Chain A
Amino acid sequence: ETGVTQTPRHLVMGMTNKKSLKCEQHLGHNAMYWYKQSAKKPLELMFVYNFKEQTENNSVPSRFSPECPNSSHLFLHLHTLQPEDSALYLCASSQATSGSETQYFGPGTRLLVL
């Protein structure tokens, strides 16, 4: 893979559960991202962190709560999710958030909400 790891790879949760997704990048990058990939839809950017500070929140419901303790780690805390939140959640990192910087993606966490 590309130096970005995600755990768990698969997650099944009920609507009342609380769970967390973890992302770690080993590339020395300063920016990290969460994306949602649903079937038949383009990738949706959820959150952007740059040097541990959140710089973008694309109107994501509050049942998704990101956390970035340092530039190498990114979490997505999940609570009271809905079945329509079932999707592949992808983490990415890049050296910077703008310009020609390439984003490198992890393998994703496949989430199923029952």
Chain B
Amino acid sequence: AQSVAQPEDQVNVAEGNPLTVKCTYSVSGNPYLFWYVQYPNRGLQFLLKYITGDNLVKGSYGFEAEFNKSQTSFHLKKPSALVSDSALYFCAVRDQAGTALIFGKGTTLSVSS
């Protein structure tokens, strides 16, 4: 069965510092991995996805994520956090045969000025 774990309920960083939001997954075969962001009272916005190829994926708003097959991880990163990055972040996975996207429970990112 597919699953996604986001081990941190909340991540706090100071503006200008690098940020990491962690995600690990379990799937049979090769995964498709996604990151979404949700601002208050809004739907989920797509940030980036890993399909195949280069393990470092670049996405919207300066975010990137690194696929690590041996550690079954897909951590979201940004070199310099902004206060406006404060939001709820979701990691999701789908295997190549699956239909459903399986979401993690979400990590709240709080960036202080």
Contacts and interface: CB of A to CB of B under 8 A. Distances in A.
Please say whether chains A and B are actual partners in one complex. Answer: yes
A42 B99 contact: no
B47 to A, nearest CB: 10
Given A42-B105, A42-B106, A45-B101, A102 B42 contact: no
A17 to B, nearest CB: 23
A97 interface: yes
B90 interface: yes
A105 interface: yes
Nearest to A108: B43
A2 B46 contact: yes
Nearest to B44: A105
Contacts of A51: none
Contacts of B90: 43
Interface string A85-114: 000001010000111101111111010000
Interface string A67-93: 000000000000000000000001010
B34 interface: yes
Interface residues of B, number: 25
Interface in B1-47: 4, 32, 34, 36, 41-46
A110 to B, nearest CB: 7
Given A42-B104, A99-B96, 19 more contacts: A2-B45, A2-B46, A6-B43, A41-B105, A42-B105, A43-B44, A43-B90, A48-B99, A48-B100, A98-B94, A99-B32, A100-B49, A100-B51, A102-B46, A105-B43, A105-B44, A105-B45, A107-B41, A108-B41
21 contacts: A1-B42, A2-B45, A4-B43, A6-B43, A42-B104, A42-B105, A45-B101, A56-B99, A97-B99, A98-B94, A98-B98, A98-B99, A99-B94, A99-B96, A102-B34, A102-B46, A102-B49, A103-B46, A103-B101, A105-B36, A106-B43
* Cβ-closest 9 pairs across A and B: A105-B43, A105-B44, A100-B51, A43-B103, A107-B43, A42-B105, A42-B103, A97-B99, A100-B32
